[in-house]
Every structure is written in C-alpha cells, then in structure tokens.
Structure 1
Amino acid sequence: MVARRRKRGPRGSRESLPSPPGYSAIPVKFSEKQLASHYLYVREHRVREGTQSVWPQKHTLFVLNVPPYCTEECLSRLLAPCGNIKSVELQKKPDLAEGSREPKSKFFHPKPVPGFQVAYVVFQKPSGVSAALTLKGPLLVSTDSHPMKSGVHKWISDYEESVFDPEALRVEVDTFMEAYDQKIAEEETKAKEEEGVPDEEGWVKVTRRGRRPVLPRTEAASLRVLEREKRKRARKELLNFYAWQHRETKMEHLAQLRKKFEEDKQRIELMRAQRKFRPY
C-alpha cells in the first residue's frame, strides 16, 4: 500500500493525494461520520501484446487497495454511476499468469483471509472504464439505503453464510462429477483413437489398452482363492483374541529363545573342549 502524504500549499491548502504511476485515486469513506478517507487506486487492465487474458481488454478496470469491508456488491454499487457492470471479482493478489481459470465454488474454495484486496471490474462498454478513471469522491460505502453490517451484526451474518445448504452442495457435487466423467470419457476416446497411430517422427504411443487382456479365472480357481482367504481370516480371528493370550504368547516366545540360547551355549562349550590341544 502506498504511503499517503498530504502536502500543504503556501496558504495551507491541501494538494491532491499522489497516486502510483499510471493509477487514479478515488476517495472512499465507510460512512458520513468518518472524517478520513480511504483511497482506491484504479487503472485500465492491460496485458502484454500477444498474451491472452480472461478479462476483456478495454472493458476491465483494475482496482488496488480495496478495504476488507468493501464487498463485491458494494464495489459494484460504488462504480455503477460509471456504466453498466457485467462482473466484479475480488482477489487476494493480482493474476500473474493469464489464461483459463476454473469457476469458483463457495463450498470447496475457502474464503481468503480478510485484508486489503484487488478487484477486477468488467464494464459492458469501454466508456465505463474511462468514467471510473475520472470519478470524484468521496464515495460512501454504507448509506441509509444500503447500510453495511458491522460489529456483532457482521459476525452473525458471516456465521450464517458459513452454514451451507445440503441440497445446494449436492447439486454442485453432482454437476462437478458429471463434468469430470465427461472429461474422462473424452480423454479415453481420444487415447483410443491415437493408439497405434505413429506421430510425425514415427513413434507409436503405447498405452495399457494395448496389452494382452488377462484371462479370467476359472470357477475352481476362484473357489480355491476364496477358501484360502477364509482360512487365513479364521486364523487371524482365533489367534490372540484376548489380551492375556497375547501376553502368554510373548512369554512363551521369550522362554523358547532363552532355552535355545542355553542350548547353543552348551554346544559351543562342547566344541571348544573337543578342539583343545593335548600333546601328551
């Protein structure tokens, strides 16, 4: 955020607030009672030549320093006098990589941490962007006709919005799964069409579909596998069913290890006695 410094003229008159290069400043107040103004910095959204952008050129206004209490609906109302607005989207930071973007979901995309954000405002006509660049203020966020919730009322509203509707969640999940199944089906169809067809360099793409299919099991083999799994499951269920059985098994195992250790020790002593050198 750019530091605000007000310069006074020779007679104490205040000059306009300096803006970042290429931006215009629009003063904003939360309500009429607020004395100090907050400033939005706006400019026309542009990208490098030859780069595709999800935001239409000459129709999009880029806004910096959007305060936390200013929502998308509020920003749309403040800029409505400039022209008809198609969409307003708030983001935590600007889009660095231009390209296709997935639609947002209120269920699976958590809300960003409250703080200063950036906004992309899309107007129906390019004249809306020009009018926004010359907009004068201060603009009021909370008015008598459009009051903004604050304090406990805002906390209650945020809590109510956090409780989702199960039916709406089900509809969105079904829509997502239908789109996902359609995408997988298209990929499989495309891979099947490209299978066995050499590319420009003569290479042939080999996939799992090109392998020899595995022969199904016979009924007798399936019955043997089921019987083997049944016996294994029965042994697991009967072995160490109680805790005291588990302790006794461990004690028996330790006793067997001690007995084997003593037997090995005696065997080693006997071998040493047989190898002893006796010249007389």
Structure 2
Amino acid sequence: MGGNPLAHTSRPVAETVSGTSKMAAGVRVPRGFSVIRVRFWAGSRASHHLYLKEHRVRGASDVTRPQDRTLFVLNLPPYCTKECVRRLFSQCGPVTSVELQEKPGPGTKSEAQQSKFFPGRSSQGFRVAYVVFKSPAGLKSAGSLNLREPWVLSTSDHPVKTGLQKWIRDYRSNITDPGELQSDIDQFMQQHDQRVAEVEARAEEEDGVPDEEGWVKVTRRGRRPGFSRTEAGNLRAIQREKRKRAQKELLNFYSWQHRDSKREHIAQLRKKFEEDKQKIALMRAERKFKPY
C-alpha cells in the first residue's frame, strides 16, 4: 500500500450518516456510522466494509474507554487481530489500547487478570473493537476518513496468518513450558496464602472487640462449616427434633395430673369389661346346639 491513505481528497467512500441509514458508494450505512473499505492483501479484488462510530455511553463513565478518545468499530473479520487493528488506526493517531469482543458491551476482564497459559477459546465469527487513541485528535481523524483506496490488512511487513499457518501458530502457542507454569502457580499460591493470613489476622484483631456503638462482631472461626440440606434431610431433622421434644416433656409432674390419669385408666378398664360381657352374652344366645 503506497502513500498516505489520509491524503486522498477524491470522492469519499466513507460518509458519516446522521439520522436514518444512507447509501454510500453502494453500501447501506447504519445510522451514525461511517464506513471504510479494507482488503485482506493488495492483490485481493474483493473488499470488506468496517463501520466506525465514536464510542458514547449515556450516563456512564468508563476509565478504560474514555468517550472523547474511543472509537467503536463493527464488522471486523475473524482473522483481524489486535495488532492488525492497532496498525491500521495508528495512521490516524497514536493508539493506546485495542479491545476485541464478540458483541458490544462492557469489558469482561483486564489483560492482567487473564491467564497467559490458558487464554480461552477465541471467537470464530465477526467481532467488534474498541480503539482508544492517545488524544481526541486521533478520534476526529478516524471519523473523517475519506479514502479512495481500501486499507490492506496483510502486508509483507505485517502478514496476517490464516489457514494452515494460523493453525500451526495456535498449536505452538498452546504448548506450555512446565517450569514457567509451575513458577506462575507458586507465585499465585504465595499471594493467596498472604491474603488468607491477612484476613485471619484482621479477624483475630476484631474478634471480641466492640465497635463504636457497642456491638461485637461474631465470626465463624472455630466452628464447623455448615452443609446444605436436602428436603429429605430437613424432614428427618424435624422428626428427630419432635422425638427429642416428646422425651423431654414431663408427664404426671403434678399430683392432680396423676389422679386424673389414674381415674381415666380405671374408666377405660370398666368400659372394656362391660363390652366383653355383652359379647359373651351374644355368643351364648347364638348357640344352636344345647347338650343340656
């Protein structure tokens, strides 16, 4: 790609649209976006369209994506990497950071929090990008691009690997050095042990010490960890509690309770005796064979 693409002043392929969608060089441009053409390499006859827009979030402020310096890019092809996006938009001004995502939205995790040994599965489809420039001038320059020739993504100095070369690169990047991985694990465990020790030391200092209002914080130190119960386990626990409660009840504790229970028992015996007498009399009356 020869010459400076920003120096062309002929009929623009990129046209900023405000209001409804509009046609620019045969391409329907979404509302509020501008469009630029890109090609995979200089000999490609087919071109691809990227849609650009200044990143603005209503009623929110993001430190990593300042609204006066962040460019939102749609329709990035899968083979376009962060380095490729940085190289392209560095022609508009110095680029501070580039973030690629599967769809628009807040950032997931910072690069410092992601593991370099297990980066996770990369997206296989088209993506979006958030390009942060060093100054607002870079964002203005990107929003007013008037290009006659499309940008080239893969050059001899900066090739974009695809196909078999990309598979070989991805395979080699997945091979982890055991020594380096063990060193990273040891460092993580040291930081974890240090955080746990600080939490325990802070809990020991606060244990039993009342606050300004006189309340004492009760911690779970020294207690057995609780386990979640199932529904059947809850029923068994309730039945055990009922049996324990029944055993603890004091029966016939008072003398009047003892007299009442004894009187009721005698009445039940008399009633049973009268019922038995009636049954015997009925059986005798129903006998048909009378030997005497």
Q: Which residue of 1 aligns with 2:168?
A: 156
Which amino acid is 2:190 matched to?
Answer: E
TM normalised by structure 1 equals 0.60
Is 1:73 equivalent to 2:83 in the alignment? yes
TM normalised by structure 2 equals 0.58
CA contact (8 A) 1:92 1:112 kept: no
Is 1:56 equivalent to 2:66 in the alignment? yes
Instruction: After TM superposition, give the deviation of residue 197 of structure 1 in Å.
Output: 5.0
Structure 1 runs not aligned, ≥5 long:
1-12, 212-280
Q: Which residue of 2 aligns with 1:245?
A: none
Q: Deviations over 1:181-200 (max 9, x none)?
A: 33333433443444345568
Is 1:165 equivalent to 2:173 in the alignment? no
**TM-aligned CA distance change 1:37 to 1:102, over 3 Å:** same
What is the 5 A alignment of 1:33-182?
A: 33-96=43-106, 103-137=113-147, 138-182=150-194
The structure whose RCO (Cα within 8 Å, separation 6+) is larger is 2
CA contact (8 A) 1:53 1:99 kept: no
Instruction: After TM superposition, give the deviation of residue 139 of structure 1 in Å.
Output: 0.9
Structure 2 runs not aligned, ≥5 long:
1-22, 224-292
Distance (Å, rounded) in 2 between the aligned partners of 1:178 and 1:143: 45
CA contact (8 A) 2:34 2:51 kept: yes
Which amino acid is 1:125 matched to?
Answer: S
CA contact (8 A) 1:51 1:98 kept: no
Instruction: After TM superposition, give the deviation of residue 168 of structure 1 in Å.
Output: 3.1
Which amino acid is 2:218 matched to?
Answer: V
Distance (Å, rounded) in 2 between the aligned partners of 1:21 and 1:122: 22
Higher Cα radius of gyration: 2
Q: Deviations over 1:212-238 (max 9, x none)?
A: xxxxxxxxxxxxxxxxxxxxxxxxxxx
The Cα RMSD (Å) is 3.0
Which amino acid is 1:185 matched to?
Answer: A
Is 1:24 equivalent to 2:38 in the alignment? no
Identity %: 51
Q: Which residue of 2 aligns with 1:207?
A: 219
CA contact (8 A) 2:78 2:123 kept: no
**TM-aligned CA distance change 1:59 to 1:165, over 3 Å:** farther
Instruction: After TM superposition, give the deviation of residue 77 of structure 1 in Å.
Output: 0.8
Which amino acid is 2:221 matched to?
Answer: R
Distance (Å, rounded) in 2 between the aligned partners of 1:19 and 1:146: 29
The alignment covers a number of residue pairs equal to 199
**TM-aligned CA distance change 1:34 to 1:16, over 3 Å:** same
